[in-house]
Amino acid sequence: MLHRAIPGSFGVTQYLGTSMPTAMRTIDQERSEQLRNVDLASALDRVALARLAGFMVPRSVAAGNELCHQGDPADGLYIVVRGRFGVYVTQGDGERLVNMIGPGHYVGELALLVDQARSATIRAESDGEVLRLDRGHFLELLGQDPSAAKAVATTLARRLRRSNTELPLDEVEPVVSTQVVAPPVVRRPAAKIVGVFIALSLVLIAFSPLIERLDVELLGDGQKKFVLLLLAAVALWVTEPVPNVVVSLGLVAAWNLSGLTRDFATLEGFEKMNWVFAIGVLGIAATVARSGLLLRMGLLLIERVPPRVGWQSAAFLISGILMTPLLPLAMARAAVTGPLALGVAEALKLEDRSPASAVVGLSAWIGSGPFIFLFLNGSPVCLLAWSLMPIAVQNQFTWIQWFLAAAPLGAIIAAGSFIALRLLHRGAPIAPVSRDPLRLQQAVLGRPTGREQVLIGIVLLTIVGWILAPRFLWHPGLIALIAFIAVMTLYGMSNLARLDWDYLIFYGVALTIANLAEGLGLDRTAGLAAAPVLTQLGIGGPALVLLAGVLTILVKSLLAADQAILLLSLALIPVAVAVGLNPWLVVIAILALGLSWHIPAQSPEYLVAYGASQGRLFTHAQGRRMALVYDAIALAGLALCLPYWHLLGLI
């Protein structure tokens, strides 16, 4: 018996490229075809549809059984894969059949949009199967993939409107953003007022004759003015009365108004190839995230890894690290791996926030977040810290040299985190795994498209280019720019709108801060002032590395990662040079602890990981406990790597 495709839909020939009997096709391919057939999927591309499929649960229904009953709470939508179902309505004169539906139809769409009772009874007239999307999972999709959820909601709203429903279209279309954003850090109004007061006071001193009365040894008036304006920005960054991008641009305006330097010098950071490097990296990352390659990687992870908590923990740690150079945004990686970890926990039937689910969830976060230090392009803040080092040190630490120098520290932290997770969260044995949603997603995705294959090639060639660039005296930013041009040609200019321009503005201003500090001689001043103090305290080169790690933990309690890494790098790189230590060592210490989440509210990346798993995998208390252990492991790792770095000639 041959499968008969619904007119206008994807039939067997369209999907597989050749006609074949139903018996020769898998049930997952049949489910995939029926999912593609419905108008629900008309506005979704293949990747968005695969994400939606991950929220759908197959359900078999025997002839005569009810799928749902009139008057029951409406909590989900059903798509018919096989069989015939009758739609019955009970009125004063009894129950009557009002419609008959088959493969490719769906019922219960109103349940996704509003909380109402079922308006009819759906009963199987033959043995059949449906795909169920419950309202809770749809709302989850709304948070994780807003564009896909909006497309589904819009289709449903139009169908309801055509059916003369009383729901206006504008009341059921969700207004959502398509960008991954961090949960806002809530600041008390009093803290914001204090921050504004401190900032204004510092700015007034900088622009008044009072600055000449500030008796600060070793600092001239220009240096004092620069430091005061920077401290004003720090006060606003900490208390956040206005968006950070406003603070960054305000700092540029203050530099110009103060006459601290020439006008064009206040924007020099935006002229550097390092800034172009960041644009290229973020652009490639946005394309990779959009392409579905990471979804394929996650599905492969779940499919191939044995269904045991220990194996899944190791797999999430390793896969998160492998994703880092491909998607150099910790927040985006956390948004990808969080739902995957939740899917694994559900497949393993782990209880919410149990020790076992905490292992899976925290492994996904740690793998996708704190290991930014392993790669030069592991995060925009890595590029920032690299850009703040002296040019000679930048040239020394190419992509491959950076990785080779950081690899032992990464191995120690990964192994230590895996052991700590297992010791902190011991769990009971787990049940067998259901892989139905996984197989359905794979069937919807199909084989990699030509564009995906080209994108894989571009990413691999980009990494190879970064490795070989020093031989040809090419700046890595040039390689990133060429790769970004290639992916824009492949996927269109829409990626420009997806870039994190707030961060890019901050990054350009940060590079300018470094230029001005160097031009004003603050780097030399800091080194000269700190070197004798450290000598008196008995803190030499190796101890400075550990001190940098400890200071990062403390400063990270007040500032977000971007600002903390910027300020610590500005302060400690000149000190490292003054004591004869390679600046990369203090940079790697800062980066290794720069995403510490011991205070959750100060780590937007951690909050994204927590929110992406709906808070079901681990509690903040469990996360904080692991954060403190991570800090200890990272500091121990820095100490253990000192002999290795001594062999490399960095100490």
C-beta of residue 174 within 8 angstroms of C-beta of residue 187: no
Phi/psi class of residue 354: alpha, beta or left (left: φ > 0; alpha: ψ in -120 to 50)?
A: beta
Provide the pLDDT for residue 637. Answer: 95
CA–CA gap between residue 234 and residue 199 (Å, rounded): 8
Task: Please count the other Cβ atoms lying within 10 Å of the Cβ belonging to residue 264.
Answer: 9
N- to C-terminal Cα distance for the chain? 75
Provide the pLDDT for residue 523. Answer: 59
- The DSSP 8-state label assigned to residue 70 in this structure reads T
Residue 234 shares a structural domain with residue 164? no
Sign of dihedral through CA atoms 364, 366, 372, 373? negative
Residue 241 shares a structural domain with residue 282? no
Task: Please count the other Cβ atoms lying within 10 Å of the Cβ belonging to residue 376.
Answer: 25
Residue 213 shares a structural domain with residue 149? no
Provide the pLDDT for residue 261. Answer: 72
- β-strands 128-134, 76-82: how paired? antiparallel
Sign of dihedral through CA atoms 239, 241, 246, 247? negative
Residue 573 shares a structural domain with residue 523? yes
CA-nearest of 22, 88, 26, 87 to 58 is: 26
Provide the pLDDT for residue 526. Answer: 63
User: What residue type is assigned to position 38 of the chain?
Assistant: V
CA–CA gap between residue 513 and residue 538 (Å, rounded): 31
**Domain span including residue 206:** 189-260
Provide the pLDDT for residue 544. Answer: 87
Residue 237 shares a structural domain with residue 301? no
Residue 503 shares a structural domain with residue 355? yes
Q: In this structure, is residue 183 part of a structural domain?
A: no
CATH number at residue 64: 2.60.120.10
The tokens for 197 are: 């007061």
The structural domain count of the chain equals: 3
Residue 256 shares a structural domain with residue 277? no
C-beta of residue 490 within 8 angstroms of C-beta of residue 450: no
Q: Which residues of the chain have a pLDDT value below 70?
A: 1-25, 39-43, 110-115, 137, 139-188, 211-219, 221, 263-264, 289, 294, 297-298, 301-302, 343, 346-349, 426-437, 470, 473, 494-495, 498, 522-540, 601-602, 612, 614
Provide the pLDDT for residue 408. Answer: 96
- β-strands 57-61, 128-134: how paired? antiparallel
CA–CA gap between residue 453 and residue 22 (Å, rounded): 30
Q: In this structure, is residue 471 part of a structural domain?
A: yes
Residue 236 shares a structural domain with residue 290? no
The per-residue pLDDT for range 104-142, each reduced to its tens digit, is: 787 777 666 666 777 788 888 888 888 888 777 676 666
